Amino acid sequence: MKKVDVVRKYVEKFPEHGNRTLASLIQKENPNLFSSLEGARCSVRYVRGNSGKTQGRKGRASHPRPNGKAGEYKIPKSLTPKKRIVRIPDGKTLLLSDIHLPYHDVEALECALDHGHDADNVVLNGDTVDFYATSRWDTDPNHRDLAGELQAARQFLMHLRERFPNANIYFKIGNHEERWEKFLWRKAPELCGVPDFKMEKLLRFEDLDIQEIGGRQLTKAGGLWILHGHEFFNTFDPVNFARTLQVKTGVCTIAGHKHKSSQHSVKSMDSNTVACWSVGCLCDLEPDYMPVNQWNLGFAEITHKGKKFDVNNYRIIDGEAYR
């Protein structure tokens, strides 16, 4: 049998093998025909049409590989991580956004926790901790107290677990929690990835049975998508943030981040309704960096089962919750 016929059979049998790998196999199993690895490799390249010495008048190989068949080179592995959606179990979910410990409003926080006392799930929907001390913005050195911030956060989480002993508690990473990781990137990159410096260790999530939700990780309660709100870059709200959510997501969505309560819904021609909500905050309404604003205190309750859901978006006025 001719060399080319032998090689062609191997090429047809092992189409995924690279040239060198296939040549090694051929030379090993046919030592009488191929005395060297390079000789076998040249024959493989010839049969596959990429030897470079068998080009026709139009620059095509005499034995071209069929369209759709790869040779030695594969598509490189993607570094894009697979996105996992966190699905909140059916039931009643208490949604708390923008507490900004230790700059929280105690009366408003008490109101929200009292109102949602029978919740099956509690979602801390981003910016639970301010991380003032690690901000990239100009900050008053007299107010930088990272140890105090972390202690206040731990105390609140322990209080929350005592108050909701049987509830599922979720801690969403907001843009303020991201300050910590970005601080490490800038100031101490050697500590990035060290377990003791991750948020779950700093705030003792494992001890308190609290599940962390990543800053860009998607979350759903029934058919309602939950975002913190910082997932969008440079959002502008010509009407309100709920309207912006409806335009940018095109699905039923609820978010915090803007510290303002709003609702917007639209109905399509095929009678599908997209409703979106933005939730008020639970922090100081007159911070030094922005004493004049349009923020309001608030929280939300979501009742959901399967794909169905119902949202009660509350404002807090003088310590009382109003829809």
173-189 tens-digit pLDDT: 999 999 999 999 999 99
DSSP 83: P
* Domains of the chain and CATH, by start: 1-77 (no CATH), 86-322 (3.60.21.50)
Let me know the angle formed at the C-alpha of 82 by 80 and 85, rounded to the nearest 5 degrees: 140
Q: Give the residue-averaged pLDDT of 61-85.
A: 72
Pairing of strands 91-96, 298-305: antiparallel
10-46 tens-digit pLDDT: 888 888 888 889 888 888 888 888 888 888 888 888 8
Q: Residue 30 is which amino acid?
A: N
Q: What are the beta bridge partners of residue 289? A: none
Pairing of strands 210-213, 168-172: parallel
Among 76, 81, 64, which Cα is nearest to 11's?
Answer: 64
Is the bond into 238 cis (omega within 30 degrees of 0)?
A: no
> Is pLDDT at 61 greater than 70 in this prediction?
no
Q: What count of Cα atoms within 13 Å lies in the side-chain half-sphere of residue 271?
A: 0
What is residue 64's predicted lDDT score, i.e. its pLDDT? 58
Query: CA-CA distances (angstroms) from residue 121 to 48, 56, 87, 113, 171?
Result: 60, 70, 11, 12, 11
295 contacts 316 by C-beta, under 8 angstroms: no
**Between 59 and 185, the higher pLDDT residue:** 185
Own/partner pairs, 290-295, CB within 8 angstroms, 24+ separation: 293/259, 294/260, 295/259, 295/260
175 contacts 127 by C-beta, under 8 angstroms: yes
- Residues above pLDDT 90, as percent of the chain: 64
> Is pLDDT at 51 greater than 80 in this prediction?
no
Summary count for the chain: helices (H), strands (E): 9, 13
> Is pLDDT at 278 greater than 60 in this prediction?
yes
- Rounded CA separation 101/151 (Å): 10
- Tell me the pLDDT band of 66, cut-offs 50, 70 and 90: low
What is residue 172's predicted lDDT score, i.e. its pLDDT? 97
> Is pLDDT at 71 greater than 70 in this prediction?
no
- Tell me the pLDDT band of 258, cut-offs 50, 70 and 90: very high
